[in-house]
Chains A and B, each alone.
Chain A
Amino acid sequence: MIPPAFAYARPTGVEEAVRLLAGAGEDAKVLAGGQSLLPLLRLRLAFPELVVDVGRIPGLRGVREEGGTLVIGALTTHHAVVADPLVRRHAGLLAAATATVADPAVRHRGTLGGSLAHADPAGDLPAVALALDAELVAVGPDGRRTVPAREFFVDYLQTALRPDELLVEVRVPKTDEADGWGFHYEKFSRVAQAWAMVGVAALVRRDDGHIAQARIGLTNMGTTPLRATATEEALAGVGAAGPAGVDGVARAAQSAAEGTRPAAEPAVSAAYRAHLARTLTRRAVLAAARMG
């Protein structure tokens, strides 16, 4: 539980951070809240030559509104996200899912940006970012660029971020209840502090007694977070109340595992994970549409 030796830098600005990252190439790691990186270092599963601690860079924390979008600084802690009134009002799914991350100690240190950049498919927030159609803003030597969440998660623990880029903010389109949006994060884990065996992030917009739009993110159903696209399509137009609506949701949820590639672990077969995805999707959508 002792990390290998590494160089440590604590830049005071984004530009300096990017310069350090660019100088180190593939051998640098960004340290934000440290809740994923430090265990990897201590277990000697990661061997960076340089750790760039961005924790003291000003301006990367907090939540603000820009029209129909919430802008959340990458260093905003999980605890701050959960407590933030803007997030609660305009991105309830994010607040609800973030409240299930690990335990209070982790939520006080871990950050939204860190969690997304780490891109653990068992982490709760990548699937939530997908369901929210969030955009991720990175700064590199050539300036800022914006990456849609759908293009951000590339593979297991791999994102579209280049080695010399720093994730600085997360932009989340508002999904207000007043506009008909409902949400639910259905997390299935064996013990409270464990990662999700499967998680389902459901966002549903109701209009005129029907489901107008559904966006469903799946946690831990492959090497990246995934959208349950087939279910989303099948849900459009389903009644948002009554037994017929409930049946419609159940039918749509049957395709939740389509296109997923869940891993098998001891006592957790891939078939069981797929079954969970279907069951939890049904429950999450019913809860999000306030039909459950």
Chain B
Amino acid sequence: MSERTTEREVGRSRPRKEDARLVTGQTTWTDNIGVTGLLHLAILRSPMAHARLTRVDVSGALGRPGVVAAFTGRDLAATTASLPCAWPVTEDIVLPDHPAVAVDEVRYAGDPVAVVVARDRYAAADALEAIEVDYEPLPPVLDLEAALADGSPLVHADKGTNRSYVWPLATGEDYGAVRRRADVVLRRRYLQQRLIPNAMEPRAVVVTPLAASGEYTVYSATQIPHVLRVMLSMVTGVPEHKLRVVAPDVGGGFGSKLQVYGEEVVALDVARRLGRPVKWTESRSEGHLATHHGRGQVQDIEVAATSEGKLLGLKVDLLADMGAYLMLVTPGIPILGAFMYPAIYKMDAYEFSCTGVFTTRTPTDAYRGAGRPEATYAIERIMDELAVEVGLDPVELRRRNWIGHEEFPYTSVSGLTYDSGDYEAATDKALALFGYDELRAEQAKRTESGDPVRLGIGVSTYTEMCGLAPSRVLRDLRYAAGGWEAASIRMLPTGKVEVVTGSSPHGQGHETCWSQIAADVLGVPFEDVEVVHGDTRSAPQGMDTYGSRSLVVGGTAVHHAARKVVEKARRVAAHLLEADERDLDFADGVFSVKGSPEARRTIQEVAFETFSSHDLPDGMEPTVNAEHLVDPDNFSYPHGTHLCAVEVDTETGRTSIRSYVCVDDVGRVVNPVIVEGQVHGGLAQGIAQALYEEAVYDDEGNLVSGSLADYLVPGAPDLPEFTTDRTETPATSNPLGVKGVGEAGTIASTPAVVNAIVDALRPLGVRDVAMPCSPGRIWEALRSARAGREAQKEGRS
């Protein structure tokens, strides 16, 4: 049976079809939704990191003009359950109750304390000042190691510990035995600072009730309308079939909208209580406190190797900052990284352990890369240290340890089966584009001349696990749901096509890419395809968008659904052409009879014939529509090589990125310009972690970087020109050969930049700089290295 379709669309840099409405402001963001009688929520938040609530009195707010209602945490707890955690990573995990609004105790600065409902935003904001709260201060819990020590103040006193869980993994040979036969054992501690996601669109939610039938529509700036519907039903008791969740166009998420937030629960509960529509929109500074944070780990990493630089084993011990509560997938984030520490390297033994620790800070959860950037950072940093230790060029050290292209499929020491890859090809291409040897020569010259502006070169060779996730693996990891994705295709009477996807884009360009995939399989024009998403009524089945899964899982589902449509249409076409199905060719949207090409029907004609149903095969259901659910067999494994050259001004500590080259292998590419955009944005966020961003808390647990004046998100002027290129080793785990690209840039770039900085400063005695590598930190590192050298000199003399 001929299956040939011409791929006119996949691989083409189509401008994104969603952009026109986004950039002209013609779309409706959640905050733009206006409904008659809309009420506005404002939330009073704790100004303290940790305190007992001895009194919350909202009566003063009720008297304020325009105020309709006000609620305490106790009021709301009567009708809402604890916010959900869907990933209790161990059987004995400590999983505290998490009310949407605090009842007895606040546990981070920004924890909600009371809610005001008013006729406009202004009245609501003003009325917050009339709420009276008595806080009885409790000690903050901020340091991860101190939090685990005996006698530490407790975030959740009733739990008796700040330890949420310990999650161990030991694979391959016994690490201790491997360590004993190693020539070199290196141990380092790296700190993953907390990051604040800062999606362009702040969070917002609107709930409209239909009181007569007990139905509710929840509009939310969310990545996960489908998961949210299930969870809101469970938390509020509104039956699932009475809940419709809509994610309108959403302006970015980076994981921060992969969440079931208290504000969503409260908005639904208040709409139910009052029978009126309500809206809540966060401000940027409110978001810094109330939207979950990312990263926040202390990483102890140890490698055991031979004197030739051959890795023997790896041991990782993490302390992961959970923040005050476990939110949707909080405990699982570091576990997503657990499998990635061995990266692209072969070794005999691997030992990992992660301890989740409660602190009195904003909860952490998924942030672009989610566990994998942390893992990649630690392994790529220590690989550079090992290269120095054994006297090898850092690229050569990696060559000696990585999996050869001929060794795929390869099962890593942590148990993942990498299906495909070519680390040599990506690295060779990157080195050539970068001018590696020339830069090394210049670096040597500048070091020799004592140039106050040093040149440093950073390498990062990474892989990641994408396409989350095989449902059975998720079961083994104790994740509550599956990892499938759904697509359905509706052939409209006029031959136009609706692709319904369970993925929920928030900036990725699904409408364009899914159209390209469907257009190729169905052989219809790109313009004839519309993609429907983000509404549980029109796209009822889905697992949403995160973890670089949409194309790998959701795009594959679209591909299969389209194939099913073709097969159904073939039956109709054969009937109409009075031919045997086996005698039909299908190419470019046309069914034709082998040997008599004039006997033909387009698939779009078949759609109309099916609509009329006047002449269908006997017994055939009158539709060519189809749906398909994909549960992936494996993850996908993008990889690549990133090279960064920095100039560090040793007088001021300022780092300037001189050049940045990345060669990523994300498998086959559906839309190159979208891939380019994903890589650029990912690089920006990864570089931001290396150089700029950090959620800073003071000793009392107040968030100091509470606005964009203090939390430095770099803009275009702060970033270099990127040289991006690709190699293309198709994934073997899906028919599209795709691997996912949403997180690659973020994962790879952070260690490339920090490796470059340390490489620049190593001749001056600097072995590490904590992130973000601000000029002040670099200056302090240089100063203490100089003091160390002088002390050594004195010691000798």
Interface positions, chain B 753-797, Cβ under 8 Å from A, are: 772, 774-777, 779-780
Complex alpha-carbon distance, A280 and B775, angstroms? 14
With CB as the reference atom, state the residue of chain B lying closest to A192. B717
Q: Which stretch, A59-67, A80-88, A124-132, A268-276, touches the partner chain B?
A: A268-276
Given A43-B707, A191-B715, are A2 and B696 also a contact pair (CB < 8 Å)? no
Contact B712 A267 (CB under 8 A): no
Interface positions, chain A 227-270, Cβ under 8 Å from B, are: 266-269
With CB as the reference atom, state the residue of chain B lying closest to A264. B776
Contact A190 B692 (CB under 8 A): yes
Complex alpha-carbon distance, A276 and B776, angstroms? 10
Given A191-B718, A267-B774, A269-B776, are A276 and B121 also a contact pair (CB < 8 Å)? no
Assess whether B283 is interfacial by the CB under 8 Å rule.
yes
Assess whether B439 is interfacial by the CB under 8 Å rule.
no
Assess whether B567 is interfacial by the CB under 8 Å rule.
no
Complex alpha-carbon distance, A2 and B694, angstroms? 26
Which chain B residues lie closer than 8 Å to A194 at the CB level?
709, 712
Instruction: Pick the contact of B126: A4, A192, A195, A267 (CB < 8 A).
Output: A4
Instruction: Pick the contact of B776: A2, A4, A268 (CB < 8 A).
Output: A268
Given A190-B712, A191-B714, A192-B717, are A1 and B283 also a contact pair (CB < 8 Å)? yes
- A191-B692, A266-B704 given. 6 additional CB < 8 A pairs? A191-B714, A192-B715, A194-B712, A267-B696, A267-B772, A269-B780
Contact A2 B712 (CB under 8 A): no
Complex alpha-carbon distance, A5 and B651, angstroms? 48
Given A4-B126, A5-B126, are A190 and B652 also a contact pair (CB < 8 Å)? no
Which chain A residues lie closer than 8 Å to B692 at the CB level?
190-191
With CB as the reference atom, state the residue of chain A lying closest to B284. A1
Q: Is chain A's binding surface mostly helix, strand, loop or mixed?
A: loop
Q: Closest CB of chain A to B686's CB: distance in Å?
A: 16
Contact A279 B651 (CB under 8 A): yes
Which chain A residues lie closer than 8 Å to B709 at the CB level?
194-195
Assess whether B28 is interfacial by the CB under 8 Å rule.
no
Complex alpha-carbon distance, A192 and B692, angstroms? 12
Which chain A residues lie closer than 8 Å to B652 at the CB level?
188, 276, 279-280
Which chain A residues lie closer than 8 Å to B22 at the CB level?
none
Which chain B residues lie closer than 8 Å to A272 at the CB level?
653, 775-776, 779-780
Assess whether A12 is interfacial by the CB under 8 Å rule.
no
Of the listed residues A192, A266, A268, the one surrounded by the most CB atoms of chain B closer than 10 A to its CB is A266
Complex alpha-carbon distance, A268 and B776, angstroms? 5
With CB as the reference atom, state the residue of chain B lying closest to A282. B651
Assess whether A193 is interfacial by the CB under 8 Å rule.
yes
One digit per residue, 1 when the CB lies within 8 angstroms of any chain B CB and 0 when it does not, for chain A 1-22 equals: 1101100000000000000000
Complex alpha-carbon distance, A279 and B654, angstroms? 12
Complex alpha-carbon distance, A191 and B707, angstroms? 15
Assess whether B408 is interfacial by the CB under 8 Å rule.
no
Which chain B residues lie closer than 8 Å to A43 at the CB level?
285, 707
Interface positions, chain B 259-304, Cβ under 8 Å from A, are: 283-286
Complex alpha-carbon distance, A5 and B776, angstroms? 40
Complex alpha-carbon distance, A152 and B10, angstroms? 65
Contact B712 A191 (CB under 8 A): yes
One digit per residue, 1 when the CB lies within 8 angstroms of any chain B CB and 0 when it does not, for chain A 185-199 equals: 000101111110100
Which chain B residues lie closer than 8 Å to A1 at the CB level?
283-286
Complex alpha-carbon distance, A190 and B718, angstroms? 9
Assess whether B125 is interfacial by the CB under 8 Å rule.
yes
Task: Name 19 interchain pairs, CB-CB below 8 A, sorted by A.
Answer: A2-B121, A2-B126, A5-B122, A43-B707, A188-B775, A191-B712, A192-B718, A193-B717, A266-B696, A267-B774, A267-B777, A268-B774, A269-B776, A269-B780, A272-B653, A272-B775, A272-B779, A276-B652, A279-B652
Complex alpha-carbon distance, A1 and B43, angstroms? 12
One digit per residue, 1 when the CB lies within 8 angstroms of any chain A CB and 0 when it does not, for chain B 698-738 equals: 00000010010100111101100000000000000000000
Given A190-B692, A191-B718, are A275 and B712 also a contact pair (CB < 8 Å)? no
Which chain B residues lie closer than 8 Å to A266 at the CB level?
696, 704
Q: Chain B interface residue count: which class? A: 20 to 34
Complex alpha-carbon distance, A1 and B121, angstroms? 10
Which chain A residues lie closer than 8 Å to B283 at the CB level?
1
Q: Closest CB of chain A to B99's CB: distance in Å?
A: 25
One digit per residue, 1 when the CB lies within 8 angstroms of any chain A CB and 0 when it does not, for chain B 248-262 equals: 000000000000000
Complex alpha-carbon distance, A73 and B500, angstroms? 60
Of the listed residues A2, A43, A276, the one surrounded by the most CB atoms of chain B closer than 10 A to its CB is A2
Instruction: Pick the contact of B779: A191, A193, A195, A275 (CB < 8 A).
Output: A275
With CB as the reference atom, state the residue of chain A lying closest to B775. A190
Complex alpha-carbon distance, A266 and B779, angstroms? 14
Which chain A residues lie closer than 8 Å to B125 at the CB level?
2
Which chain B residues lie closer than 8 Å to A188 at the CB level?
652, 654, 775
Complex alpha-carbon distance, A272 and B777, angstroms? 9
Contact A267 B718 (CB under 8 A): no
Interface positions, chain A 165-217, Cβ under 8 Å from B, are: 188, 190-195, 197
Complex alpha-carbon distance, A195 and B651, angstroms? 20
Which chain A residues lie closer than 8 Å to B712 at the CB level?
190-191, 194
6 tightest CB-CB pairs across the interface, nearest first? A1-B283, A192-B717, A2-B125, A267-B776, A266-B696, A191-B718
Complex alpha-carbon distance, A272 and B653, angstroms? 10
Of the listed residues A1, A4, A280, the one surrounded by the most CB atoms of chain B closer than 10 A to its CB is A1
Q: Closest CB of chain B to A8's CB: distance in Å?
A: 14
Given A266-B704, A267-B777, A269-B776, are A193 and B122 also a contact pair (CB < 8 Å)? no
Complex alpha-carbon distance, A275 and B775, angstroms? 12
Which chain A residues lie closer than 8 Å to B285 at the CB level?
1, 43
Which chain A residues lie closer than 8 Å to B776 at the CB level?
267-269, 272
Q: Closest CB of chain B to A3's CB: distance in Å?
A: 9
Complex alpha-carbon distance, A5 and B709, angstroms? 24
Interface positions, chain B 627-643, Cβ under 8 Å from A, are: none
One digit per residue, 1 when the CB lies within 8 angstroms of any chain A CB and 0 when it does not, for chain B 472-512 equals: 00000000000000000000000000000000000000000
Complex alpha-carbon distance, A188 and B775, angstroms? 10
Which chain B residues lie closer than 8 Å to A5 at the CB level?
122, 126
One digit per residue, 1 when the CB lies within 8 angstroms of any chain A CB and 0 when it does not, for chain B 646-659 equals: 00000111100000
Q: Closest CB of chain A to B252's CB: distance in Å?
A: 19
Complex alpha-carbon distance, A192 and B775, angstroms? 14
Contact A2 B718 (CB under 8 A): no
Which chain B residues lie closer than 8 Å to A269 at the CB level?
776, 780
Q: Closest CB of chain A to B718's CB: distance in Å?
A: 5
Complex alpha-carbon distance, A1 and B31, angstroms? 15
Which chain B residues lie closer than 8 Å to A267 at the CB level?
694, 696, 772, 774, 776-777
Complex alpha-carbon distance, A217 and B712, angstroms? 26
Which chain A residues lie closer than 8 Å to B286 at the CB level?
1
Contact B774 A190 (CB under 8 A): yes
Which chain A residues lie closer than 8 Å to B775 at the CB level?
188, 190, 197, 272
Which chain A residues lie closer than 8 Å to B774 at the CB level?
190, 267-268
Complex alpha-carbon distance, A192 and B715, angstroms? 8
